[in-house]
Structure 1
Amino acid sequence: MKGGIGLGMLLCCLAAFEAKAGCTAAGIASPAGYGSISSTLVRTVPQSTSSSNSGLTCTPGGISLLSEAYFKATITPTGPGMVGPTGDVITYTIYANNSTAHPITRGQAFDFASNGLLGTSAPSVIPLYFTTAVNNVAAGVYTETLNIRWDWKYCTGLGILGVCLGYDTGADKHSTLTVSMTVANDCTISAPSISFGSAPVVSAFSTISQTISVNCTKGSAYTVGLGDGTHPVSVGGRRQMISGSNYLAYDIFQGAGTTRWGSVGTAARRASSSAEVNPGNGLGTGSQIFNYNAKIYSDQSTPPAGSYTDSVVLDVGF
């Protein structure tokens, strides 16, 4: 009698510790979107994003995974990365956690369990993390669709003696995950100030010859404009420096010529194709140089002595 009662109690207790759990692989996982990033940042600084759910969803619970458990992801294709409208590619690395400690090699199974990333229970979801290399690319939308094969096995319940009461398994289950980024046109500009120095009369000021350096997104066609300053005679007219209530008229001209460099109208602006150095579309990794000359008009009366200044806005249009 005592032996029979003891066996019944053991069966009771074994059943009491059983837990129901299971995993499923969704057809479409949460996308990993970088959003809109300037081409300058894409070219100079690694960018990071993540997918909150890479496709595998499990019923969580405080159940030991045991040494034989595995949650394996095999990610394909093996390359090349996010592809844009001109064929440029943004390469990136996939990580199993939000550091660089666990990179995932495409085409090879990565086990989240054996790498110690899941703790002691089945995961509710498994996120993935993405960090780009620096890439010199044209503007546009870049995408790649990843296929993730899931294989898993883990214990869904333990008895009082530590015996596994059942397993949940899955093999060759698939999810797709889209990685995307919008690369926005951008430029870096170097435009030194113009200093005419000093002179006793307007006719004694020398013409200044200088350059503006512009580095814009790879493949971008753009124009460069110079505003009329803060005190123009009229829109598109002479620019003027000011000292108190007095003015000194001057202007900025394209290249070494006499065509005024302005901001409104095709002739007033300078196209990237007209650069003196590296004419054409933007290079991304190299600058285009625009020459100009600036002079003070000699057909005006010499104003009172003083320090005359103006501020001109340089703009780039795509």
Structure 2
Amino acid sequence: MDRLRGHRSKRWWLLAVLLALWLLMGPNRAWALCSVVSTSPAGFGTLSSILVRTTSQPASTTNAGLACTGSLVSLLASNDHFYATITSSQSGLLGPTGDVIGYTIYANNSTSYPITRGVQFDFARNSIVDALGLLGSPTVAKSIPLYLGSITGSNVAAGVYSETLSIAWSWNYCAGIGALGACLGRDIGSGVASLTVNLTVANDCVITAPNINFGSAPVVSAFATVSGQTINLACTKGSAYTVGLGDGQQALGVGGRRRMVSGGNYLAYDIFKSAGTTRWGSVGAARRASSDAEVNPGNGLGTGSQVFNYNARIYTDQATPPAGTYTDNVVLDVGF
């Protein structure tokens, strides 16, 4: 009888151990699993060359190639890691003429955690993985995003700029947590994803065009020619363009004499190319090409100015209108 009781005690002890193991590995467990997936491109969009040079521009990708599913509450230990090593054969976004636009890669949507190319960055640190909830989605795979910021100072030509980044992922973390918080297993893996980054640079100009002031005179024949006037243009590097001056608001037909107005009275005037008598207009040959600039003729310089001279005169073959302040508004346009 005593021997029988001993066997029963052993059976109950064995059942208790099996029950504990079932609780540890059964329905209360939580697992996570990661894999390398296809990325989503990161695009800066279309930006003027001036914005690219003067102001940092943001871009991002929602998927940098690592996606995870699971139901873990992320409590990553010091021996857990999610490494990303980013490399490229280029030093930035390469354009059609060989110009390069630099940019910085960040691990979050601020500038707190820049990623250095060729150096492992651990997304398990600084609570980045926790903030993303990367391991806490049991049904939908969540991916790691990346954020980009262009570096100012690039004087570049117009065109499409691109770079393909190679992102080597390596992860090792506790992927299964039991009812008592014990680690039931680790998810260990690695893989390489390719990420395309692109930016389109558009032509643009910075224009400096001072107002024309004829001063005052009692009769039209007493108005002096306004000479030595200049229009300065700093246009996209390598751009060939033309500059046109509109006919103003009161012109006598297309390409006709420009006129200033005061009330219902008019004072005819015009603007001429350089120091000559050829009218500067907005259509066809009346425009001026970038190669016609008096200073730095040719294609745009990006950071340097090209200078166009002109003179303006009041027509003296008109009757002197009544006294008043006469004004007009002329549109300057640049065509690429």
TM-score normalised by length of structure 1: 0.95
**C-alpha contact 2:30 2:178 (8 A) present in aligned 1:** no
Counterpart CA distance in 2 for 1:144 and 1:302 is: 65
Counterpart of 1:41?
A: 51
Give the deviation of 1:166 after TM superposition. Answer: 1.1
1:237 maps to which of 256, 267, 275 = 256
Counterpart of 2:305?
A: 287
Moved more, 7-16 or 91-100: 7-16
Moved more, 58-67 or 215-224: 58-67
Give the deviation of 1:122 after TM superposition. Answer: 4.2
Counting only pairs closer than 5 Å after superposition, residues 68-107 of structure 1 correspond to structure 2 as 68-77=79-88, 79-107=90-118
Moved more, 60-69 or 37-46: 60-69
**C-alpha contact 2:31 2:72 (8 A) present in aligned 1:** no
Counting only pairs closer than 5 Å after superposition, residues 1-318 of structure 1 correspond to structure 2 as 1=9, 2-16=12-26, 17-26=28-37, 28-63=38-73, 64-77=75-88, 79-119=90-130, 122-123=134-135, 124-134=142-152, 135-171=154-190, 173-209=191-227, 210-266=229-285, 268-318=286-336
Give the deviation of 1:280 after TM superposition. Answer: 1.0
Counterpart CA distance in 1 for 2:271 and 2:250 is: 14
**C-alpha contact 1:18 1:156 (8 A) present in aligned 2:** no
Counterpart CA distance in 2 for 1:100 and 1:142 is: 23
**C-alpha contact 2:90 2:163 (8 A) present in aligned 1:** no
Deviations 1:236-266 (A, max 9, x none): 1111111122111100000111110000012
Counterpart CA distance in 1 for 2:203 and 2:196 is: 23
Deviations 1:194-245 (A, max 9, x none): 1101100001001112111111111101000000111111211111111122
Q: Give the aligned CA root-mean-square deviation in angstroms.
A: 1.4
Deviations 1:78-120 (A, max 9, x none): 6311111111111001111111111111111111003431128
- Helix, strand or coil: the match of 1:310? coil
TM-score normalised by length of structure 2: 0.90
**C-alpha contact 2:72 2:177 (8 A) present in aligned 1:** no
- Helix, strand or coil: the match of 1:117? helix
- Helix, strand or coil: the match of 2:32? coil
Counterpart CA distance in 1 for 2:89 and 2:180 is: 45
**C-alpha contact 2:205 2:235 (8 A) present in aligned 1:** yes
Distance 1:107 1:298, change over 3 A: same
Runs of 4+ off more than 6 Å: none
Amino acid at match of 1:221: A
Amino acid at match of 1:161: L
Counterpart CA distance in 2 for 1:285 and 1:196 is: 32
- Helix, strand or coil: the match of 1:149? strand
- Helix, strand or coil: the match of 1:36? strand
Which blocks of at least 5 consecutive residues in structure 2 are unaligned?
1-8, 136-141
Give the deviation of 1:8 after TM superposition. Answer: 2.1
Pick the structure with greater CA Rg.
2
